[in-house]
């Protein structure tokens, strides 16, 4: 009796009217992912689920775990941590720490974010590791990432140093960046710091490598990465007006290419897409059939005002349909989610929003049930044996 019902909306949302398709961004990155955080709309996906060497971009996972420890009281910003010989042994981008140091957690975090300190990552890792080692922390990073939905991420160390099996996908990095922004707004401003001169011992390493900071395009994070194996990459975020995007690019061949590609992606994402109103909360946009209720149909309305991201050069039109498993059995409560609105902007992935009942629908009485049973029986007789199977 119950079946998936799809209703195409023609008038309310001006569906099936031709809109101009958005021009895809032609990136030179090995892998790329761009998402609009307001709507969850994926704007660009190029091999985004392929696990690749993430280089220093994987430091974001170490930072996320450190922020969790601060939130839970297992670390505090003024606490001073010792530096092991293992931490001191790392080359590449460092804070030039040594075993005589005891470093404040806040300085270590800024050293990771602004200076990309490999040694600082290991100091944090050894402090939070289940067994006190960087390897143990890397295993925990992998477990935590899997629980967060980053299914294409595995870690061999805390800082992205080239190692077999140390991999992340660009989609996973975008998810991680989103979680950092949303879960830890109190620490996110650290990512927009452009300079950190840690006690003057490394004057050649004081500047943030993010090429977008200071360009006045809304960029405020997050992390660059580079190794010969990974190429040049960036996990970035920018906010203009009420919109925020997160993007990840990986595998470019120079710092210049990374800078140019990143700026172009931000400009494209904000200029080629706009947020348009679709329907206001409480507005009935369709009706659903009711089973065994005191009325035959119930209105479907958004629980909150709806907006959708659409190509800026198109019209206000969008193809839409309502999907639900129906008829919906009574009783139904006002505000109960009973359907989904599927929007299909031209050239973009479809998006889905919940629709709720606009009123209470009590179960029908004896006469209603008798009538429904009779109609059902007649319908089955008309279908014959095959239709009733």
Residues belonging to the active site: 56, 59, 116
In the three-class reduction of DSSP (H, G, I as helix; E, B as strand; rest coil), residue 144 is classed as: helix
Strands 3-8 and 80-82: unpaired
User: Of 194, 197, 233, whose CA–CA distance to 216 is shortest?
Assistant: 194
HSE-CB at 296 with a 13 A cutoff on CA atoms is 3
Residue 164 DSSP one-character state: T
Measured CA to CA, the distance from residue 221 to residue 179 in angstroms comes to 13
End-to-end CA distance of the chain: 11
**CA angle 92-98-103, nearest 5°?**
100
Q: What values do phi and psi take at 59, rounded to 5? A: -60, -20
Inter-residue contact 365 to 312 (CB < 8 Å): no
Neighbour order of strands in the sheet with 219-227: 41-46, 31-36, 243-252, 231-240, 219-227
Helix then strand then coil, in percent of the chain rounded to 5, is: 30, 30, 40
User: CA 227: distance to chain centroid?
Assistant: 25
What span, in angstroms and rounded, lies between the C-alpha atoms of 245 and 38?
Answer: 8
Task: Please provide residue 27's backbone torsions phi and psi, each rounded to the nearest 5 degrees.
Answer: -90, 145
Answer yes or no: are the C-beta atoms of 222 and 60 closer than 8 Å: yes
Residue 49 and residue 171 in contact, taking contact as beta carbons nearer than 8 Å: yes
- Which bin fits 47, alpha (ψ -120 to 50), beta or left (φ > 0)? left
């Amino acid at each position: 009796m119950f079946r998936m019902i799809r209703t195409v909306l023609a008038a309310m949302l001006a569906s099936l009217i031709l809109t101009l398709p958005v021009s895809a961004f032609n990136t030179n990155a090995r892998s790329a992912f761009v998402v609009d955080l307001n709507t969850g709309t994926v704007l660009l996906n190029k091999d985004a689920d392929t696990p690749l060497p993430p280089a220093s971009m994987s430091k974001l996972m170490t930072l996320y775990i450190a922020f969790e420890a601060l939130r839970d009281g297992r670390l505090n910003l003024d606490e001073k941590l010792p530096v092991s010989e293992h931490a001191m042994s790392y080359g590449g981008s460092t804070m030039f720490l040594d075993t005589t140091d005891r470093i404040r957690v806040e300085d270590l975090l800024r050293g990771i974010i602004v200076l990309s300190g490999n040694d600082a990552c290991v100091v944090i890792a050894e402090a939070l590791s289940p067994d006190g080692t960087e390897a143990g922390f890397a295993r925990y990073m992998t477990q935590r990432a899997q629980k967060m939905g980053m299914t294409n991420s595995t870690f061999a160390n805390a800082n992205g140093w080239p190692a077999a099996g140390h991999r992340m996908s660009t989609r996973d990095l975008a998810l991680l960046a989103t979680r950092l922004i949303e879960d830890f707004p109190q620490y996110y401003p650290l990512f927009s710091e452009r300079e950190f001169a840690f006690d003057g011992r490394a004057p050649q390493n004081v500047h943030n490598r993010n090429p977008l900071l200071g360009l006045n395009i809304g960029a405020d994070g997050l992390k660059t990465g580079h190794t010969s194996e990974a190429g040049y990459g960036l996990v970035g975020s920018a906010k203009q007006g009420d919109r925020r995007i997160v993007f990840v690019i990986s595998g470019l061949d120079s710092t210049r290419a990374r800078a140019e590609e990143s700026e172009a992606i931000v400009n494209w994402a904000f200029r080629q897409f706009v947020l348009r109103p679709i329907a206001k909360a409480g507005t009935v946009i369709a009706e659903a059939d009711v089973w065994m209720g005191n009325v035959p149909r119930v209105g479907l309305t958004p629980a909150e005002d709806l907006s959708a991201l659409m190509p800026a050069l198109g019209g206000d039109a969008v193809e839409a349909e309502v999907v639900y498993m129906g008829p919906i059995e009574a009783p139904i409560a006002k505000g109960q989610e009973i359907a989904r609105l599927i929007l299909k902007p031209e050239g973009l992935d479809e998006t889905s929003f919940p629709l709720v009942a606009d009123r209470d629908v009590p179960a029908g009485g004896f006469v209603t049930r008798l009538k429904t049973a009779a109609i059902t029986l007649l319908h089955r007789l008309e279908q014959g044996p095959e239709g009733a199977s």
